């Protein structure tokens, strides 16, 4: 953290590109690139993060700004590899790995997860099979083709959001369900926490587990908000 060195953050818009200024000086990314954002809504939200800082500036408390930096500094250089990494989740998707027992957990997984797999098949042609246990199974080699086509059409900002949502949830299906508006962020969080919810119901929740869940929820909601702000 560093001492706050500015009084006010504001938004500057020129020719459809938006920047955040600190006392009239535009901010840059960690790599030194201009932080030009595609929507005023996103820029205003980032300015809000800067204005919310106290006597010290903590970049970790500015998740939207961090995602902007990722979209500008990193994604353009690793775009193809990032898409490949996202597609690998189709082979190990959380929703495809079911419990054999107890019966109530297996039933809850079926209730929450199967409609999402059915939706992914209809929306993206993703014919993903489920299996009992955690050992990956051989999926249809073309199961990810629809996801790949969708990502090819995304800009770097959208791809940044999708990569975050897939990685946080552990599911390409949940990530794309958020992207497509099939799920909202809270429902997506609940969907990726089915197993954890069952364990908590059985044994209770300790401090570390509570903190992990809070972090996952916050990260998923931030990524979903970032995506939403791109469309405003």
> What is this structure's pTM?
0.95
Write down the domain spans for the chain: 2-61, 78-230
Token reading at 196: 């954890």
CA gap 44, 179 in Å, rounded: 22
Regarding the domain with residue range 2-61, which homologous superfamily does it belong to in the CATH classification?
ATP12-like (3.30.2180.10)
Query: Fold for domain 78-230?
Result: ATP12-like fold (1.10.3580)
pLDDT in tens, 86-129: 999 999 999 999 999 999 999 999 999 999 999 999 999 999 99
Listed residue (181, 163, 156) closest to 38, CA to CA: 156
Same fold, 2-61 and 78-230: no
Q: What is the pLDDT, as a whole number, of residue 138?
A: 85
Residues of the chain with confidence (pLDDT) below 70:
232
């Amino acid at each position: 953290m560093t001492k706050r060195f500015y009084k006010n953050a504001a938004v500057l818009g020129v020719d459809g590109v938006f920047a955040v200024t600190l006392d009239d000086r535009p901010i840059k990314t960690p790599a030194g690139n201009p932080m030009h954002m595609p929507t005023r809504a996103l820029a205003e939200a980032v300015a809000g993060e800067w204005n919310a800082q106290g006597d010290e500036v903590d970049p970790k408390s500015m998740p939207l700004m961090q995602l902007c930096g990722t979209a500008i500094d990193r994604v353009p250089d690793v775009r193809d590899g990032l898409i490949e990494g996202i597609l690998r989740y189709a082979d190990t998707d959380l929703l495809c790995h079911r419990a054999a027992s107890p019966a109530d957990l297996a039933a809850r997984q079926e209730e929450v997860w199967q409609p999402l797999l059915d939706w992914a098949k209809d929306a993206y042609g993703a014919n993903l099979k489920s299996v009992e246990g955690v050992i990956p199974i051989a999926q249809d080699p073309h199961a990810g083709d629809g996801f790949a086509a969708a990502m090819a059409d995304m800009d770097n900002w959208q791809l940044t959001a999708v990569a975050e949502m897939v990685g946080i949830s552990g599911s390409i299906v949940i990530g794309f369900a958020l992207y497509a508006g099939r799920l909202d962020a809270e429902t997506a969080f609940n969907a990726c926490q089915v197993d954890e919810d069952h364990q908590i119901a059985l044994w209770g929740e300790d401090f570390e587990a509570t903190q992990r869940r809070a972090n996952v929820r916050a990260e998923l909601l931030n990524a979903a908000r970032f995506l939403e702000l791109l469309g405003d």
